[in-house]
Each structure stands twice: as C-alpha cells, then as structure tokens.
Structure 1
Amino acid sequence: MKHYEANFDGLVGPTHNYAGLSFGNVASLNNAASTSSPKSAAKQGLLKAKALADMGMVQGMLAPQERPDLHTLRRIGFSGSDAQVLSNAAKQAPAVLRACCSASSMWTANAATVSPSADTHDGKLHFTPANLVDKLHRSIEPITTGNILKATFNNSRYFSHHQHLPEHASFGDEGAANHTRLCSEYGHAGLELFVYGQEATNPLAAKPKLFPARQTLEASQAIARLHQLDDDSAVFIQQNPDVIDQGVFHNDVIAVGNQNVLFYHQQAFVDTQAKIAEIQRKFNGQELHFIEVPTAKISIDDAVKSYLFNTQIITLPSGEMAIIAPTNCQDNPAVAAYLDEVVALGTPIKQVHYFDVKQSMQNGGGPACLRLRVAMNEMEVAAVNQHTLMSDALFARLNLWVDKHYRDELAVDDLADPQLVIESRTALDELTQIMKLGSVYQFQK
C-alpha cells in the first residue's frame, strides 16, 4: 500500500487584514494597521498549494471561517441588525471587533494536531482541533475548525475526531505548530515530538518573561493520550523560553522535521542534547539526520525575520527532500547562503524552492503556517472529501471564486463595513458548494 504525507493548506478568507492582534508575533505587530490585499493573499496561497500538487504531492485545501464573527459579538452584548452590531462594536470595543474579523484560520498549522493511523492503537487517523486560548481572535475558531475537519475527513471508518481541549490556560494548545513527526517511512510507526512553552501547573517551572508561552506540557500530554500513543511513540520537549521572548511564538518558527530529518536552531530547545538522545533511543537505531543551525551562522533575529524554520520540508516522489521557503529567505543574504549549504550537507534535503507568500508573512505566517500535515495511506486519501483535494479544475475554480468575491485592498477601518458581511457570507455559501462542505457555517443573524 502506498503512503503519503498530504498538506492541507488554509484557504485565505475574504477578511484577511493587518490588525496586529498577535502579541509575541513580531511580524504581526510590526505590520499592524497596514492595508492588506485579501485577493493577493488568497492567490499566493493557492499558487503555493498548486505548485506542490504539480510536484506530485497530495495537496488539499481547508476552508476559511466566517468573518466578521457576528455571533461572538452578539454573545458579548451587541444587538440589533448586522450593521448596528458592527457600528456599535467599532465605537465601543474596536479591539474586539478586529479580533472577530481576523482571517487567522488561514494558518492551518494551528488548526489541529494530527496523529497518523500508523502511530495509534486503534489504527485510525486522529484529529484534535487546537483550542488557541491564548489569543481572543483565535480562541473563537475551534468549533468551526472541528466542523471543517469533519467535512474534509468525513469517513468515521478511517478518521477519529476529538473535541478541542478544555478552554483553560493550563491546557493551552496551538496545534501542529508545536508538533512534528519523525519516521523512516510515512506508513511506518513514527515518533511524535510535542514541543511546549511551559508546564502550566508547576509554578516553579521555567517560562518566558516577556511573551506568552502558548503551548503547555499538560495540553501536549493530553493530546498524546487522546490519540492513543504509547510512551515510546512520543517525546515532550520544552522550547527555550529565551527564544520565545525574541519572537519565536511557536516551535515551527525555530524547528521543522520530516521523516528522518530534524532541522532546528541551536537555541531552539531546553536540554537539547538529552532530548536528542531520547529521540535516538526511541527511534530504535534507525538513521536520523539532525541539522542544527548554529547561532554563529543564523541569529535568532534572522531566523524570525526570514522564517527560515517556518519552511516545509517535503519528500518528493523521487525520494529526495525539498525545502519550501518564503522568498523572504531568498532576500536575506545570511539565510540564502545557509540554505545553499544545506543542500550540500549530504542529508536527504537536496532542493530549495522559494514562494512569494508575503501577504501571509506580513501577518506573521510563513509556508509552514499555511499547511496542516496529514500522513495517510492510499485508502485514507480515497476516504477524504475529494472536492477538497487540489487539481487543475479546483485551482481554476477557486481562483475564479476569489476574483469574484475578494477585495483588492482592505484597511482595518473597513472591518466595520456591513457590506463586508454580505460579501463574506456570499463567498462562503458558494464555497460550500464548490468543496461540498455541507453546513459548516451557521450564518447566524
């Protein structure tokens, strides 16, 4: 049986904007109040997804969420017509309105944690939506995320869907942005790495001083239990609190793995050598490639600005691995030079491909943020909602859909425009028909 690692990219929503909502995310804060282009953002994401499909990868798309989220605004006391709700929220609680308009579900690395069937006791592929409790604009996503995942992976014979973890800071869960999987082959049992920022229930445990540690050890352990992983199938690693305070808000900003390659910065983790030894022991002597990037070559600042580690490492049909990097890496001399070195190190990584995803990058999300990795066998791929898998026809249809419904420009002040609600709902209603998603949106009034 054939096995694959599929990438399911987030389709950028019609309200893509730069509201600067993510404290701890340097790019998000630096570009706050800039004018965005939802149309360009969506098309840049589609081009990357189509390019990977053309390389022979299994590539899917995950639908965006309904925004503005008028349901949440009504829950907190705003009433009347849609126009009145938006107008009053803009006057009385502008920060809350901005949160309820965020298109952050585009970053599907935060959508869920996924454990392939090769790792789990029941032989099913498990999904747990992230609760994202640390940020208001993301904490309103999990229920709809779960609905979208169920509409995409919609066969209970193969897929097991869990409810998101309790919505409490002790179980702060940011999804696959803090999770990676090492394996010899995608269809073989693997080793799942859970990276956390703090141990929430231990007041003496190390944690960052400036920015929040969004992922907790308690959340990571809970997901490992829900996904029916043995002790030998999981490693729990603490992220270095000092790098969190330098803008490394998720592990995928400082490390990335694929099959038997772990690519990480020298300062990424706490107690690195002991954890590397644990990984080697649990990998049962199979070949591993650890690529540790020294601070002397790439500073934390350059890593964050370029998103060197927020790249995708994919295994091509040829068996070679390739890095999918943002053009920001190409534009940074130190990072570009280092990537030229990486392909000559003698590891499975032999290629680097650069993609322009600047609309996403300016909001703090690179190529790896835009995708959720799902290792599957051929029967599981066949069980996926086929209308969500990238093809020439879907690419053409989604581009026409974006041209029809998306604005060329969107300023933060435009978020209170009642017409934006109509445009967004009309677009998503049509998308449910294109991708056969059923009733994932409520369109509550």
Structure 2
Amino acid sequence: MTTRPQHPGPRGAQQLTVHPISADEHAAFLAQHPTASFLQNPRWPQVKTDWRGESLGAFDGDRLVAATLVLHRRLPLPSAVPVLGRKSLAYLAEGPVFDAEEVALSALLPAIVDHLKGQGAFLIRMGLPGVTRRWAAQDVRRALAAGEHTVISELEPLQVDDGAVAVRAELEGLGWEPPQESEEFEAGQPQFQARIPLTDEEGGPLDVDAVLARMDQTSRRQTRKSTRSELVITTGGEEDLPAWQALYAETAERDDFTGRPLSYFQRMFRELNAAEDTECTLYFAHHEDALLAAAIYVRQGKFAWYVYGASSSQERKRYAPRALQLRQIEDALAAGCRWYDLGGLSPSLDPEYPLAGLTRFKTTMGADVVQTYGEWDYPVNRLLTRAFTLYMARR
C-alpha cells in the first residue's frame, strides 16, 4: 500500500481575496493544472444553460493562486419575489482548483463563501478535487464475485491519502457538512469513481498492451475480437450528432433511462472543442451500413473521460462498444493522459444490488475504484436549504 498526501494541514495566516476573472484568465490557470476536470472549464456554463456561470479567482496579493467555476441556480421562484427571488444554489463541481502546497483551505474557502454569500447563495455545494483512497480493479471485482463484503470501503486499499482525515476535519471546522456514503448515486458527481490508470506507479506512461492486461479475461478477449470484427471506426463532426442522437435514444428506450436532448450534445461538442487544450470527440463503429455503437469522449489536459455511450441491439457479437473503448484508450494514451475515467459507480459489493452490473463492467475493464472527497455543503440559510432538499427529493 502506498500513501500520497494531497492536502497538507493549515498553515500560517494567509490573506486571500476572491473576485471574478475572465474566461481567458481562468483557462490559462487551468492549463497549469493538467488534471483539472472539464466541469471546471469556463465554457461549461454555455452547455449547462439552466445555470448561470461565474469564474472566480483567489489572489495572494496580485498572484492568482486558485480558480473555480461556480454554477448558480436560482430557487424555483419568479425573480420578482422579494429577497427569495435572487437566492440561488452555488455549485462548484470538482472545484476549486489550486496547489495544496501554496494555498490553505482555511484561507481559500472562507473567502469563496463570503463572495458567494454576496451573490445571494443560500447553499454552497463543493466537490473538492482529490482522491482519498483507491482500490485495485482486480480486488474489487473479486470481492464483488465472492459476495463476502458489504461495501468497497471494507477492502484493503491500494492507495491512501494520509492527509485526508485532516482535510475532512478542517472542512467541518470551517462549517462544511460532509457527504454521506450511499449505495445510490448521489446528486451531482458520485463519490466513488472508476478510473483506468494510464501510467505506472512511478508516473511512466503505459502502452496499450499494459492497459489491456488490466482487464479480466473476458473483457480482454471481447476487446481483441472487436478488432477482427470488420468494424469501421470513425470520428464525426457536429453535423453527425443527429446520427448519435438516434442511437442514443434507442439505447435510452432499451435500457430505460431518460436521455439528454440533441441540443445538449450540440452545445457540449461546440463549446468544449472551442476551448484550449480540450477536445470532445464523437466516435462511431459501423459494420457495412449499420451503425452499431457510438461514444462521446472528452479530454482536457492530461485527463480523459468516457462520457456517453450508445449501442444497437444488432450484431452484438461484433462487440462494437468494446472497439470504441479501445479507440478511446488509444487516443488517451497518445495524448499523454494519466487517467481514463469511466464515471461513477456504487460502493456496494452485494452481487444482487441493482447497480452491481455497472461496477462489474467497469472493474473488468481494468478500472480502479477511487473515492473522492465527495460533495460538501455549506448551508448559508438552513431553512431554505432544508426546503430545497425536500423539493429536490420530491421531483
């Protein structure tokens, strides 16, 4: 087991000021932090049009030392309603972004809170970046098959951040309320994520064979078979998104989930591809004239994400989705990425749990499970926060 402290304890009195920065300033700061999430990209508010976006910078004197994208969502009330009409939820997804060696949470977070209070926030929700624990893919999938443990946190981790306990204590001391560990997916970003490492433990790059070796035998066999299945793999432009949408809608109907509209993917494709050192790629897998699978991939800096996937019920034995996963891994490796993220999963290790299949699939793909700090709440107005929580629970 290795330890990699990520956030040191508080240091001496540090005075920071927080105020809005331009999208260009924000993008330049993120370029110095190559593993920052695309959810912090200053163009993201143009995708999430139900929210108002704001780029904030924290300054030590004249030096920008932290930045965060804040999404504001007003209470479901007319803006003309006195006082309440301007109240909003302030959401920092995977933010703020900063160097822990330079910035104390005890200086940064109160400064951000003060600014957001002035913006009318009744609740601030923050997904502080960082990994507190990591479990090896093979250990999680074996435990899931054995059914002898209840949750992933009962397993011996591969990696532990020794500073995480101190960070949590500091957050609580600053008035932040911790997330509860749940078997369900939380609102926002799940606390447990599946990530395929693309570097070795010393940070050296892996090759595609090393990544394939992380998969279980079935996934590796199906992936290799997909390369011999007469599939044509292509990338598409914005004009090809209607073809994506048709297959995505078919997938949503078959798998019984509510999908996003075409306009959302058009905005996502357009905005992320206009950003510096960020790309949103649309992949297709065809057999002859039939579209069998499609995927949307995002890369920002040295981090890559499999964001959306869709597949046809036809020609399943050609394993078209596997072919697209392999292509995304290859492209992430070629870009020098450190991680390929497959998204959230449930920490439950009950083989019969409804979300167990998702955990099984992602770990058989070779994805380790990481636990993040999760999303913490700072209730500026506790009465409004309780009312908002009840409203969201009943939607």
TM bin, normalised by shorter chain, reads under 0.3
Looking at secondary structure, tell me which structure has more strand per residue: 2
- Which is higher, the Rg of structure 1 or of structure 2? 2
Normalised TM-score (structure 1): 0.25
Normalised TM-score (structure 2): 0.28
